[in-house]
Amino acid sequence: MSKLGNLGARLHRGEVSYDFVGKRKIWYGISILITITAILGLTVRGLNMGIEFQGGAVFTTPSTSASVAQAETYAQDSSGHQAVVQKLGTGGLRIQIAGIETGKADQIRDALAKDLNVNAEKINADLVGPSWGEQIASKAWQGLAIFMVLVVIYLAIAFEWRMAVAALVALIHDITITTGIYALVGFEVTPGTVIGLLTILGYSLYDTVVVFDSLKEQTKDLTKQTRWTYSDVANMSINSTLVRSINTTVVALLPVAGLLFIGGGFLGAGTLNDISLSLFVGLAAGAYSSIFIATPLVADLKEREPQMRALRKRVLAKRAQASAEGELAAARAGVEPDEGEPEDSTPAVVGQRDQPASRTRGRGRPSGKR
């Protein structure tokens, strides 16, 4: 842990760094590949929408000896629709059937009671009409759209429109990956999933805004110097906040992982899967996009400005001049530019050296100069 703390301090001071912005084409390629996979999953498999979005019924039975597979068969035979069955901690079953008419609920409940050998009056039925499900889906999309618009407006005012565009691209990237994972895994999409999506978008924006704030502070009066380009400063901003972003992401992922893998996997709490999966995937994707997508994209957009292009030319010209002067000084010192120091010799001094004056040097000259 002490080594990690020392590394974080060195990253913050700029003593060590990793060229995230310089290798942005690699990160763009990885993101495009993952996004295409997610879109293919959405296109081929589609989302498993819960009854809250498409209507249906949820039947909760008392304790029964029937297995999940048997209950799925009974529910499909009695309703003619695909059923999702979960085992409850009380020994009962939660049978969810989407797309059925609410008028057939009593008929299906009687059939399930007979097949499961339980009392029909003890089976609880929660009904959701198709029109209400459509309203819920519409409200969810409206809420997501309003959230996106407010985010863009805030970032454009607090920072600039290029950062707002980059943050919006990162958010769309996170949503696409998360929904694609849902399609590939086949988890049910419920209102809890929407809540999870909005939550992870907040986490993603938090990491992004932290980097943007550092970038905004470090780029003040950037054009008045010739040492760093905008991409260089953007890379320093990522490195200075890297450990902080990793720490906050790991701390947030640990309880969510426990909720997903322990609660949903070992304990069989299937109702937790809808929100825990969106949180787990979204938090990881949000941390990735804030480092590898948002800030490099801002650097790409800023480098297109005439002022930043002129600054880049000046910086590169100064670096080329400094390199040439260094090579010339090394040549005068008798050292090749790419030659290492001999192990048994005195290190050569690069640049102009001050030679000790000789007592007899310059004697006899009219000017007396040495």
Q: What is the pLDDT of residues 69-100, one digit of tens each?
A: 888 888 888 887 778 787 776 778 888 887 77
CB 273 within 8 A of CB 286: no
The yes-or-no verdict on residue 36 having pLDDT over 90 is yes
Between the alpha carbon of residue 231 and those of residues 22, 100, 295, 299, the distances in Å are 8, 56, 9, 5
Average of per-residue pLDDT values in the chain: 78
From the list 171, 193, 209, 186, the residue with the least C-alpha distance to 280 is: 193
Return the CATH fold of 2-12+21-49+132-303.
Multidrug efflux transporter AcrB transmembrane fold (1.20.1640)
Q: Say what the pLDDT of residue 32 is.
A: 93
Task: Kindly state the tokens that stand for 345.
Answer: 């010799």
pLDDT of residue 11: 60
| Ordered DSSP codes for 276-313 | HHHHHHHHHHHHHHIIIIIHHHHHHHHTTSHHHHHHHH
Q: Which of 34, 47, 39 is nearest to 288 (CA)?
A: 34
81 contacts: CB under 8 Å, gap ≥ 6: 56, 97, 98, 99, 100
Residues paired with 60 in a beta bridge: 94, 124
Do 2-12+21-49+132-303 and 56-128 fold alike per CATH?
A: no
Please determine, for residue 361, whether its predicted confidence score (pLDDT) is greater than 50: no
pLDDT of residue 336: 53
Which pLDDT band, with edges at 50, 70 and 90, does 28 fall under? very high
Report which residue type is found at 170.
Answer: A
By the 10 Å C-beta count (0-12 exposed, 13-18 middle, 19+ buried), 98 is classed as buried
User: Given 3-state DSSP classes, what are the helix, strand and coil percentages for the chain, each rounded to the nearest 5?
Assistant: 65, 5, 25
Positions of E strands within 229-357: none
Structure tokens at 87: 């085992």
Q: Which of 7-11, 229-233, 254-258, 274-278 has the highest mean pLDDT?
A: 229-233
pLDDT in tens, 131-181: 666 777 777 778 778 888 888 888 888 888 889 899 889 988 988 998 888
Contact 286, 169 (CB under 8 A): no
- Residue 96 CB partners (closer than 8 Å, separation 6+): 50, 51, 56, 57, 58, 59, 83, 84, 85, 86, 188
**pLDDT attached to residue 345:** 39
Neighbours of 143 (CB within 10 A): 14
* pTM of the entire predicted model: 0.71
CATH architecture under which domain 56-128 falls: 2-Layer Sandwich (3.30)
Domain spans, the chain = 2-12+21-49+132-303, 56-128
